[in-house]
Structure 1
Amino acid sequence: MIPVSKITSDHDDATLVDDARAATEGEKNMTLAQGIRIYPKAILWSILISTCIAMEGYDLCLLGNFYAFPQFNRKFGHKLADGSYQVSAAWQAGLSNGANCGEIIGLFINGIVSERFGYKRTVLCCLVLMAALIAIPVTAESPNALLAYYLLAGIPWGIWQTLTISYASEVCPLALRGYLTTYVNFCWGLGQVIGVGVVKSQLGRDSDWAFRLPWALQWMWIAPLFIGVAFAPESPWLLVRKGKMEEAKRNLLRLTSPDRVADFDADKTLAMMQHTTAIEREITKGASYWDCFTGINLRRTEIVCMVWAIQNLSGNSFTGYSTYFFQQAGLPTSSAYDFAMGQYGINMIGVFGAWFLMSRGIGRRTLYLYGLCGLFVMLITIGCLAFVPDKHATAAAFATGGLMLGWATFYQLTVGTVCYSLVGEIPSRRLLIKTVALGRNAYNVVGIVCSVLTPYMVNPSAWDWKKLTAFFWGGICFLCIIYTYFRVPEPAGRSFAELDLLFEKGVSAREFAKANIDVFRSEESKNAAAAVEKDMRVDDGEVKV
């Protein structure tokens, strides 16, 4: 039972729609500086929870770099004719796919548990699970044990992959949404830089602890993250969807500093959330996985799935084996790790570059489309280096490394970073967690295929394509450009309710940025307001939601 004053605005004459309109206009007119002043605590909490992704970036970076690590190859690989040791292409694919399969399971679990138990409790449970699982690779004696670890560890990783984006998109206003959803990509880069640095530092160590210690260091993430997340506020959007308006208000106030801006009204912001949720209930009758594939949500689910799958299809899976690829391209092992560290450093810096471009008014769609064009050119150029004569092989190897760094720069400025903003904005709030989970699963399914193909392409004991691999991914990247032009819309500057109606009206992707729409005069808005009023049953001066 929730008092009426906790649901509506403090102004008795204000209606739900009026309050929602005022809050929506306030968000749309909010500058970046105002957003930082009003939501400083939301920024910090979002950054904290997103940092969980750094654990996944770190561990998967270890795995990819261990394939070029002599000590790891001696322990888990087999001896080749030239006397060197190599983990077979089959086991490389199997270990990488073990993580992908675990993530698929985790993503589907997250679509259910996060909505039911909340973001915070779900993160805490995953941290406890990871603390126990890290012991497996630290003591592993066979590839089988590593496979079991990556399959099980993939479950919490899969949950974090979508939960962090969902949380960031919900706790922050429109002015901050693009920055904090894309910060997730910075966390990937942070984990990768730390991971490759730790592996490189162990090159001189000859014992098994050269590869066991990097895994053991993962325990350093657990305690600080657990303590921080334990105090984090829950998403007000999630609480509104569950009808817990009083709790939603308390958490909204924990995320904001309303005293810094005179015209900020928490009740009106809650009215906007309630109005948007009601509109989505009018448009989408259910909130199950099946509902993601019905009506207008089918289009939204398709776009989210493709936007994330394109990350792998544009060549990302190819660069995920960068250290191993550099080594096979002719670089010394130490130089290969230097180039890899540079690439992962770009992964972090590129996020800030993407923020700069977005702050200059360049839309998500534009960045994504032109980024793919740049990646296509880079891949074709790398493929052409395969035809350089053998006498210039060393120069061609270093040129390949330079182009891979150029590819990473283009990728992180555009596709790699902007993807996280798109997948956090395009789904409806009601189906957000499930749609993002399906999208990331599309990424993982494509990743499984790529993880099978790529080791065979670059492994000298298999197909041994070396630089010619880039031609294959260049052709796939060209198809991604065509898809993006016709199907990916521009969500920048749109409220969640506006995006709902743009999809409801069937506006084409190329017209999203120019379309004029008034959410609060629409038939859906009127029906939503009526539905909210109907849901409120007065009982002894209180309202039950």
Structure 2
Amino acid sequence: MVEPANAKETKVPATNTFDPAVASAIEDEKSMSVREALRRHPTAFIWSIFMFLTIVMEGYDISLMFSLFAFPPFVEKFGTYYPELGKKFIPGDWQVALGNAAACGSFIGLLLNGYVTERFGHRVVTIVGLIIMSGVIFITFFAPNLEVLVAGQVLRLPACLVNICWVIGQFIGAGVLQAFVNDTSESGYRIPWAVQWAWPLPLILLALFAPDSPWWLIRQGRVSEARKSVQRLSSGLSDAETEQRVAMMARTNELEESLIANSSYWDCFKGTNLRRTEIASMTLCSQNLPGQAMCYSASYFFIQAGLNAENAYKLSLGSFGLAFFATILSWILMTYFGRRTLMLTGLTLLCADLLAIGTSAFATSQASMWVQSALAVVWLAIYSSTIGPQSFTLAAEVSATRLRSQTISIARNAYIIVGIITNTIQPYLINPTEANLKGKAALVWFGVGVLTLIWAAFRLPETKDKTYEELDILFEKRVPAWRFASTKLDVVAEAEILRDPRKLTAAEPIEDVHN
């Protein structure tokens, strides 16, 4: 009888002898430059770009929602008139509800994502998610009141994020709002919602033809399909190099199977995986903690600082354009500096920027208004060139490959919970009908940012130039975060020890280059 194409194959058997092909693949991966990686894996780069475009939708949606709080047509339709202030505002409690509604939906979606992605694969889950989101857009487009609008936001179940596509989406959102800022009709805020329908269909078609993750296929025991996927993703590799890559993936998966019996959410909190889950979660949360709620979608902040709506949205559009180029700069920086270095540098500079915003807010002049707004743009540039992109990379790299979907889901949900808290606090800090702190709110986020920086200094490891197998060993050996970069490993010996601790005397100890 012919087995179905998706039937599990016999797994690559565990061996006590280290495969020379694996050693060659590990050494090749560690020594490969960015230019060489693009030459060997051009199709992987192209497919990554195509699939990352799904994130543009989320960046657009998030930018749209927070920017609408100060958008004249939206405020005219949904705002409440305050006689003492002489104008309409979206009340603070509704800002909290609208800002957090999508996050609540995402929390549920991400819990499901960790299971369904491991069960059905990234490609299938992406297609289904795009179809669902296409239908949900109808709710927000036709929403007659704030209650229905909140319901529509809750039903959005977004996928994982990549900073550059998030920025592109927000840049498009800022541009669309700028185009309609003087439109006083309901079309002024409905057309920006409708723009989202332009994304799903072409992305669904792309996803239909995309290759599945070879790592996921290896975990499913579908080795021949993993080999074909590697060939599609790495057209610059020879057949021998392709076999080496598959062997390395199989060996890394084999090592993790010996360390992790299962691949469930509960396993993310066992043994050394608890530390990896903590790092992934806090790394993503570090996006929120140093003032993201105030400075990332800053149109409302610009208006509260004193700019008129037209100037505020022009400045917002320019800030996202700057963020786009800053994110590209981060790609260059990450090839020369480590993830840990960029994260620590970014957090330090963001804290300094927040302190400057809060201090300048004590002045009430026109110049102070522009200084605060300019510093908010600087904040976005620092964020986009450091912690924004690096946090996504780190969160993925610190997780075990067998637990990646689950770890990322947990980390993303931690980000969402922290985001709900910060997005709840920020409107009450800055809204004219609440605390009305304006730029002084930056001092609150300065304090939170300093605490985040202290955590990163002691707990954030360096993952640059480390293979997944090396990271598995470093975590299992409980190497301190600040020694990850300087620790040398005999991967062959250490991997065998982790499989069989009785071989401890036969292996060389880990060596620190500083010793």
Which category describes the TM-score, using the shorter chain as reference length? over 0.9
CA distance in 2, matches of 1:206, 1:460: 23
Measured after TM superposition, the shift of residue 100 of structure 1 is 0.8
What's the counterpart of residue 506 of structure 1? 478
What's the counterpart of residue 124 of structure 1? 127
Structure 1 residue corresponding to 2:168, chosen from 183, 190, 193: 190
Q: Secondary structure of the equivalent of 2:181?
A: coil
298 and 8 in structure 1: CA distance in 2 versus 1, 3 angstrom threshold: closer
Which consecutive residues of structure 1, in runs of 5 or more, have no partner in the other structure? 163-183, 529-545
CA distance in 2, matches of 1:525, 1:236: 27
What's the counterpart of residue 534 of structure 1? none
More displaced stretch, 514-523 vs 459-468: 514-523
Structure 1 residue corresponding to 2:88, chosen from 85, 88, 98: 85
What's the counterpart of residue 108 of structure 2? 105
CA distance in 1, matches of 2:447, 2:495: 45
Contact 2:462–2:484 (CA under 8 A) maintained in structure 1: yes
CA distance in 2, matches of 1:105, 1:523: 37
Contact 1:64–1:320 (CA under 8 A) maintained in structure 2: no
Q: What do residues 382-428 of structure 1 show as CA deviations (whole Å, max 9, x unaligned)?
A: 0011221x3x2x11111111111111111111111111110111100
- The amino acid of 1:350's aligned partner reads A
Q: Secondary structure of the equivalent of 1:387?
A: coil
Measured after TM superposition, the shift of residue 320 of structure 1 is 3.5
CA distance in 1, matches of 2:450, 2:299: 25
CA distance in 1, matches of 2:497, 2:46: 33
TM-score normalised to structure 2 length? 0.92
What's the counterpart of residue 353 of structure 2? 378
Aligned pair 1:366/2:344, yes or no?
no
Measured after TM superposition, the shift of residue 525 of structure 1 is 6.5
Q: Which has the higher contact order (CA 8 A, sep 6+)?
A: 1
- The amino acid of 1:340's aligned partner reads S
CA distance in 2, matches of 1:41, 1:216: 32
What's the counterpart of residue 242 of structure 1? 220
CA distance in 1, matches of 2:496, 2:409: 27
Structure 1 residue corresponding to 2:66, chosen from 40, 64, 67: 64
Alignment of 1:490-529 (within 5 A): 490-524=462-496, 527=499
Q: What do residues 231-269 of structure 1 show as CA deviations (whole Å, max 9, x unaligned)?
A: 0000000000010001111111111114xx558521111
CA distance in 1, matches of 2:496, 2:76: 64
Q: Secondary structure of the equivalent of 1:85?
A: strand
Alignment of 1:7-406 (within 5 A): 17-81=19-83, 82-153=85-156, 155=157, 157=158, 160-161=159-160, 184-258=162-236, 265-359=241-335, 361-388=336-363, 390=364, 392=365, 394-406=366-378
What's the counterpart of residue 459 of structure 2? 487
CA distance in 2, matches of 1:511, 1:7: 35
Contact 2:60–2:172 (CA under 8 A) maintained in structure 1: yes
CA distance in 2, matches of 1:53, 1:455: 26
Contact 1:276–1:497 (CA under 8 A) maintained in structure 2: yes
CA distance in 2, matches of 1:6, 1:78: 65
CA distance in 1, matches of 2:111, 2:325: 31
Contact 1:70–1:85 (CA under 8 A) maintained in structure 2: no
525 and 225 in structure 1: CA distance in 2 versus 1, 3 angstrom threshold: farther
What's the counterpart of residue 509 of structure 2? none
> Which stretches of structure 1, 4 residues or longer, exceed 3 Å deviation after superposition?
5-9, 261-264, 523-528
What's the counterpart of residue 173 of structure 1? none
- The amino acid of 1:118's aligned partner reads G
Contact 1:8–1:267 (CA under 8 A) maintained in structure 2: no
CA distance in 1, matches of 2:264, 2:10: 29
CA distance in 1, matches of 2:170, 2:207: 22
CA distance in 2, matches of 1:491, 1:152: 36
Structure 1 residue corresponding to 2:393, chosen from 418, 421, 432: 421
TM-score normalised to structure 1 length? 0.87
Measured after TM superposition, the shift of residue 8 of structure 1 is 7.4
Q: Secondary structure of the equivalent of 1:92?
A: helix
Contact 1:120–1:234 (CA under 8 A) maintained in structure 2: yes
- The amino acid of 1:136's aligned partner reads I
27 and 515 in structure 1: CA distance in 2 versus 1, 3 angstrom threshold: same
Contact 2:260–2:267 (CA under 8 A) maintained in structure 1: yes
Contact 1:379–1:473 (CA under 8 A) maintained in structure 2: yes
Measured after TM superposition, the shift of residue 522 of structure 1 is 2.1
Contact 1:186–1:351 (CA under 8 A) maintained in structure 2: yes
Measured after TM superposition, the shift of residue 75 of structure 1 is 1.1
Cα-Cα RMSD: 2.1
Measured after TM superposition, the shift of residue 17 of structure 1 is 2.5
Contact 1:6–1:246 (CA under 8 A) maintained in structure 2: no
More displaced stretch, 293-302 vs 201-210: 201-210
Contact 1:319–1:404 (CA under 8 A) maintained in structure 2: yes
What's the counterpart of residue 512 of structure 2? none
Measured after TM superposition, the shift of residue 321 of structure 1 is 4.4
Q: What do residues 171-218 of structure 1 show as CA deviations (whole Å, max 9, x unaligned)?
A: xxxxxxxxxxxxx20000000000011011112212101100000110
CA distance in 2, matches of 1:241, 1:101: 31
Measured after TM superposition, the shift of residue 333 of structure 1 is 0.9
Q: What do residues 299-322 of structure 1 show as CA deviations (whole Å, max 9, x unaligned)?
A: 000011111111111111121441
